[in-house]
Amino acid sequence: MMRAATISARKNPGHKTVVVLPVHYPRELFTAMDVHAVELWGPPGPPRGPDAGRIQPYACAVVRNALAFLASGGADAADAALFPHTCDSIQGLATLAPDFGGWGKPALRYLHPKGEDGPAARAFVRAELARLADELARLTGRPLAIQRLAEAIELHARIDRLRGELLSRRTFLGMADPALYRVLRRGEFLEPGDHLAELAEAARGLAEERVQRGVPLMVTGYVPEPMTLFDSLASAGAFVAADDYAAVGRRVPLSLPAGGGDPLDTLAAKAFSMPPCPTRGADQEVRMEYLETLYRRSGAAGLVVHVQKFCEPELFDVPAIRRRFARIGAPLLYLEGELEASLSGQVVTRLEAFVEMVQAGRKAP
């Protein structure tokens, strides 16, 4: 089942659906209010219509494709769209979509926290959560039920634990990367309960001993598109031992806040328990320490930096990543894309050559 099918399935009983732009947003709030969140990462491939040209060509493909997709009617079955303040381009899209894209439905906004934790930051996030809850209440016609939110927080905590286990114990999972990432990314549009069931099924494949025998690599970037990247890595004899994609690994909390108190306070605390992410204004040195720790702990033998062209938050950190991993002697491959439908032959050749080089380095005395 894909995005369009899940939207249709939810629309039949009359539930509301919201299209969500990347990256970070309070999924628990949507679940508690019985709103189906369907994430829009572009979509990949050529823009669906001419409206991508309404945005300057030096904006990222995620934004250009999203505007074209909305304008072409790709999300007409949805009832609203949410634009988190991931970057200025996505936040600006909240205005451009109604003005240029013909999006006549509610354009919701969510200002997630930027920078470090603290009392003022927690208060700001809590206020944002309450404001978004009020907007969803107007959309659905019913207010937020605190008990439902507490239940949704527990449900998503179970999802987060399983996603974290699959990623942290990757070498013990007998599943190829293409299949694993299909499961992980289906959480972008499946009902949470359905996603939890698929994750639990995948986790049953975790073994007691290491089963992955290829070249272990770490990946970092915005979104793993095209997904054929994983097919190419697998064909070259490599696998992803550590993930720092904004769409995947950076959305698994490093720790889960203790429950039992005010659910809105719990959600606000969770916002500061996520891995460092440039889209949330993370301290660059803190992020470099995190990336090096993740790399060493996973046993990775090389790093693939895979970013979308013109993605300013990700690109700001690339020079620091290059310096840090050069200092520790880690092989690094830099890939830059524009949400292509598939990898070019040139990129596939570069991936194969990189894996071969890393493998030779591991065998050298």
**Would you write out the chain's pLDDT as a tens digit for each of its 365 residues?**
566 677 667 666 668 999 999 999 999 999 999 999 999 998 887 666 666 667 777 888 898 888 888 888 888 889 999 999 999 999 888 888 887 666 778 999 999 888 889 999 999 999 999 999 999 999 999 999 999 999 999 999 999 999 999 999 999 999 999 999 999 999 999 999 999 999 999 999 999 999 999 999 999 999 999 999 999 999 999 999 999 999 999 999 999 877 778 999 999 999 999 999 999 999 999 999 999 999 999 999 999 999 999 999 999 999 999 999 999 999 999 999 988 889 999 999 999 999 999 999 887 65
In this prediction, residue 69 carries a pLDDT of: 85
Burial class (CB in 10 A: 0-12, 13-18, 19+), 64: buried
Q: Which element (helix H / strand E) includes 305? A: strand 303-308
In this prediction, residue 250 carries a pLDDT of: 97
| CB 237 within 8 Å of CB 355 | yes
In this prediction, residue 203 carries a pLDDT of: 97
CA distance 127 to 137: 15
Q: What are residue 148's phi and psi, to 5 degrees?
A: -65, -35
User: Tokens 């996520």 map to which residue?
Assistant: 274
Continuous H helices in the chain: 3-11, 27-32, 61-71, 88-100, 119-140, 146-168, 177-185, 192-203, 228-235, 263-270, 284-298, 312-327, 345-363
